[in-house]
A and B are shown apart, each in its own frame.
Chain A
Amino acid sequence: MNEKTKFMLKQIAFYTFVFTVVAWIVVPLIVATLYAFSSKLDYYDPSKIIPFHYTKQWVNTLLFVLGALDAIKNSIIVAVLTIIISFALGIPAGYAIAKFIFPAKDTIKLSIIALRMFPIPVMAIPLVVLYIRLNLIDTLLGVALAHTAMALPFVVLITSSIFAGVSTELEEAAMVFGLTRLGAFLKITLPLALPGLAAAAMFTFVMSWNEVFVASVLTLQRRTLPAQILSIMAGATGGAAPDYYKFAAAFIMMLPAMLFIFFARKYLITMWGITLK
Chain B
Amino acid sequence: MKVKVSHLPYLLILPAFAYLMFFVGYPLIQALYLAFTENGAFSLATVSRTISDPRFWDALKYTIGLAAVIVPTQVVLALILALVMNRAFRGKDLALYALIIPLTISDVAAGLIWYAMLSPSGFLNKLFLNIGLIDNPVYFFGYQFRHMEFLAIVLAELWRATAIVFVIILAGLQMISPEYLEVAEVFGADYWTKLRKIVIPLLKPSIQSALIIRTLFAMQVFGIVWILAGRDIPILAGEGFYQLTEIKDYGVASIYALTIAALSIVLGAMYIKFMRAEYLEVKE
Contact = CB atoms under 8 A, between A and B. Distances in A.
B281 A93 contact: no
Interface residues of A, number: 102
Contact of B28 (A22, A25, A109, A122): A122
A126 B254 contact: yes
Contact of A216 (B102, B219, B241): B241
Interface string B82-99: 001000010100110111
Interface in B1-58: 6, 8-10, 12-13, 15-17, 19-21, 23-24, 26-28, 30-31, 34
B281 A161 contact: yes
Most-contacted residue by chain A among B20, B232, B246 (CB, 10 A): B20
Nearest to B108: A226
A96 B280 contact: no
B71 interface: no
Interface stretch (A1-9, A186-194, A227-235): A227-235
Interface in A73-129: 89-90, 92-93, 95-97, 100, 102, 105-106, 108-115, 117-129
B220 A25 contact: no
B250 A89 contact: no
B150 interface: no
Given A149-B23, A213-B241, A265-B97, A277 B213 contact: yes
Interface stretch (B113-121, B181-189, B194-202): B113-121
Q: Looking at chain A's contact residues, is the secondary structure mostly helix, strand, loop, or mixed?
A: helix
B282 A270 contact: yes
A49 B264 contact: no
B274 interface: no
A46 B34 CA distance: 52
A178 interface: no
B121 A277 contact: no
Interface residues of B, number: 101
A21 B99 contact: yes
A248 to B, nearest CB: 9
A46 to B, nearest CB: 6
Nearest to A268: B100
A250 B84 contact: no
A43 interface: yes
A210 B95 CA distance: 24
Contact of A236 (B94, B114, B231): B231
B13 to A, nearest CB: 4
Question: Chain B interface mostly helix, strand, loop or mixed?
Answer: helix
Contacts of B106: 209-212, 226, 253, 257
Given A18-B89, A148-B19, A236-B242, A257 B105 contact: yes
Given A14-B89, A216-B245, A100 B84 contact: no
A24 interface: yes
Given A212-B106, A216-B245, A236-B230, A48 B260 contact: no
Contact of B240 (A121, A127, A153, A211): A121
A258 B241 contact: no
11 contacts: A97-B13, A112-B16, A118-B264, A125-B250, A210-B106, A210-B109, A213-B223, A213-B237, A247-B115, A254-B105, A277-B217
Given A18-B84, A102-B10, 19 more contacts: A32-B112, A47-B130, A89-B19, A117-B216, A119-B264, A126-B26, A128-B250, A129-B34, A130-B27, A157-B281, A229-B112, A243-B121, A246-B115, A253-B112, A254-B113, A269-B171, A269-B174, A272-B171, A273-B282
Interface of A: 14-15, 17-18, 21-22, 24-29, 31-32, 35, 43-44, 46-49, 89-90, 92-93, 95-97, 100, 102, 105-106, 108-115, 117-130, 145-146, 148-149, 152-153, 156-157, 161, 165, 206, 209-213, 216-217, 226, 229-230, 233-239, 243, 246-247, 249-250, 253-254, 257-258, 260-261, 265, 268-270, 272-274, 276-277
Interface of B: 6, 8-10, 12-13, 15-17, 19-21, 23-24, 26-28, 30-31, 34, 81, 84, 89, 91, 94-95, 97-109, 112-117, 119, 121-123, 126-127, 129-130, 137, 141-142, 159, 164, 167-168, 170-171, 174, 213, 216-217, 219-220, 222-223, 226-232, 236-237, 240-242, 244-246, 250, 253-254, 256-258, 260-261, 264, 268, 271, 277, 280-282, 284
